Structures are given as C-alpha cells and as structure tokens.
Amino acid sequence: MLRLNHLAIVVEDIQQALVFWQDALGLPLGKVERNAEEEVEIAFLPLESGEIELLAPTNSTSGVAKYLAKRGAGLHHVCLEVPDLAAAMQRLRDHGIELINDTPKVNAEGVRYCFIHPKSAFGVLVELYELPRSS
Amino acid sequence: MLRLNHLAIVVEDIQQALVFWQDALGLPLGKVERNAEEEVEIAFLPLESGEIELLAPTNSTSGVAKYLAKRGAGLHHVCLEVPDLAAAMQRLRDHGIELINDTPKVNAEGVRYCFIHPKSAFGVLVELYELPRSS
C-alpha cells in the first residue's frame, strides 16, 4: 500500500487560512516556509500519517497563482509515496498515462518526484514522491 | 494529531477511473459498494493510513452528480477523524465556522459525522468523523 505524503490546498493567504485549520479545527502547525522554486509560501500541518500543506502564491505569475485566479482556493493535489519512482513512472507510461515531467525531479531534501497530468488521472493532479533512502 | 480517514474524488465512471488508480498506479482495491443515501457508487482504495474513495453518482440529481456537472471530475472532499465530534463542532462554531449539518449525522457503520461548509474552510469541503468506540 502507498502512503499519503501530503494533501496540498491552495489558499490566498496562509495566516487567514490558519485561523480555520489551526485555531478552529485544531491541527498543529509544523512550520511555515517559502519555496523559491515553486514561488509559494507553504504551511505544513502534520496529520497522524502524512500532512496537509497550505500553499499560497508569493507572486501573481506562478503556476499556483494562475490556478488560484482560475479555480479559486481549494484542494490542489495529492502526493503519494512510492518505493521506486522510475518503476512507477514506467508502469504509468505503459498504461498510456501522461506525466508532466518525463524524468524525475529532485528537490532540496533529496526527494525524487514527478507529477501525473490531471487529464490522465480524471481531473486529479497527482504527485509521486520517492523518499531518500537515508530518511 | 488528527488522522486522515479518506480523501474523496469524484469521477464519472468507477471502472474507467480504476484503470488509472488501480491498474496504472497500483493502488489495491478494497471494495466497491453502492451508497443509497448519498446516491453514489464508491470504490475504496486503502492507503497505508486512511484511504482514497472514488465516488460516482448513480443518478443525475444527487449532490455529487450536480458537483460533477458543475466542476468536473476531481478532488471532492477530505475527511479527518476527531476524538469528540460534538466538542469539535462546538469549537468550530465558537470560531464562527459554518457547518453544513448543525447536529452530528450517523451512518450505517455507526460513524458520527458532519461537514464543514467550504466557504468557511477557504474552498475545501471538510468532513469530520468520530468513529464508534468499539472499532
């Protein structure tokens, strides 16, 4: 079985959204950080397994900013952990599934990841993570 | 910390969607069942903790059918488990959060649940579950 790594939610303003998620609903706040590459501010709200990530664009031109302008705030993507990203990507391609990036990307924490195109996933933006072996 | 119970995804057709989620991505299929009250067919895809639920309307008049017609297939709602639903609902009301049902509902499995209105949750439909004590 796969593990949920995170469920990402787009918001206009992190602090406003935390009034609901943290103060009213009672989720703990892990940290808030800026991600320069994705041009977003991210608040991490850990769940018992996995976490909720609130994403707010830091400019008006990023992918997340355009999504927010077009679709409004709400659920954005789901990220699942796989043991072998290259194998998972090959299996998806073998089934005719379109990937947004054809080769794995690697983030600052050494996580290898890719996105599956929503049109191949019935409207859902799905991200896959392969965590570094040392973690 | 709260536990993710399920992430619900609206699809037009369960069998078509399973070609992606089960065959291509490799998630195990728990069961598929009809829920007469919600007028949907549901496929349960267990994760390491919690599960993904694919919902397909069984008629054109249900809430899920209207959602599908208006917004298209995609992420629908997130359900978190709370230890005490009445206390959680009171805390939400104390923070001015609008609930869709003012008193807990109870499903066939004895789960007490409520929905938080998306306009109070920055565009996200959030469901809360209180599991029966015996489970």
pLDDT value, residue B12:
97
Buried b (16+ CB within 10 A) or exposed e, B53-78: bbbbbeeeebebbebbeeeebbbbbb
Q: Pick B47's closest partner by Cβ from A1, A28, A121.
A: A1
Q: Is the pLDDT of residue A60 over 60?
A: yes
Q: Which structure tokens are listed for B77? A: 């709602």
Instruction: Output the CA torsion sign for A16, B83, B124, A64.
Output: positive
At A82, the pLDDT band (50, 70, 90 cuts) reads very high
pLDDT value, residue B1:
92
| B43 or A36, which is more confident | B43
**Close Cβ partners of B14 (under 8 Å, ≥ 6 residues apart):** B32, B41, B43, B54, B56
Q: Are A126 and A86 in contact (CB under 8 A)?
A: no
Chain A contact for B126 (CB, 8 A cutoff): yes
Q: Pick A20's closest partner by Cβ from B23, B74, B121.
A: B121
pLDDT value, residue A37:
82
Chain A contact for B23 (CB, 8 A cutoff): yes
The CATH code belonging to domain B3-130 is 3.10.180.10
SS3 of residue B110 by DSSP:
coil
At A87, the pLDDT band (50, 70, 90 cuts) reads very high
DSSP state of A27: P
The CA-atom distances, in angstroms, between B81 and each of A2, A27, A55, B78, B87 are 20, 11, 23, 10, 13
* ipTM of the complex model: 0.94
Q: Are A82 and A130 in contact (CB under 8 A)?
A: yes
Each residue's pLDDT expressed in tens, for chain B with a length of 135 residues:
999 999 999 999 999 999 999 999 999 999 999 988 889 999 999 999 999 999 999 999 999 999 999 999 999 999 999 999 999 999 999 999 999 999 999 988 899 999 999 999 999 999 999 999 864
| C-alpha distance from A62 to closest chain B C-alpha (Å) | 20
Q: Is the pLDDT of residue A46 over 60?
A: yes
Chain A contact for B74 (CB, 8 A cutoff): yes
Q: Pick B24's closest partner by Cβ from A72, A91, A118.
A: A91
Instruction: Answer whether A3 sits within 8 Å of B80, measured CB to CB.
Output: no
Identify from B9, B19, B20, B115 which residue to disrupt to test chain A contact, counting A C-beta atoms within 10 A and taking the largest count: B20
pLDDT value, residue A14:
97
Measure the CA–CA gap between A97 and B72, rounded to whole angstroms: 19
Whole-model pTM?
0.95
Q: Are B75 and B7 in contact (CB under 8 A)?
A: yes
At A81, the pLDDT band (50, 70, 90 cuts) reads very high
pLDDT value, residue A20:
98
| C-alpha distance from A111 to closest chain B C-alpha (Å) | 19
pLDDT value, residue A36:
86
pLDDT value, residue B13:
97
Instruction: Answer whether A19 sits within 8 Å of B88, measured CB to CB.
Output: no
Instruction: Answer whether B20 sits within 8 Å of A95, measured CB to CB.
Output: yes
Q: Is the pLDDT of residue A4 over 90?
A: yes
pLDDT value, residue A41:
97
Q: Pick A91's closest partner by Cβ from B19, B26, B48.
A: B26
What are the residue ranges spanned by the domains of chain B? 3-130
Which chain B residues are Cβ-neighbours of A126 within 8 angstroms? Answer: 25
The least confident of A32-36, A41-45, B15-19, B120-124 is A32-36
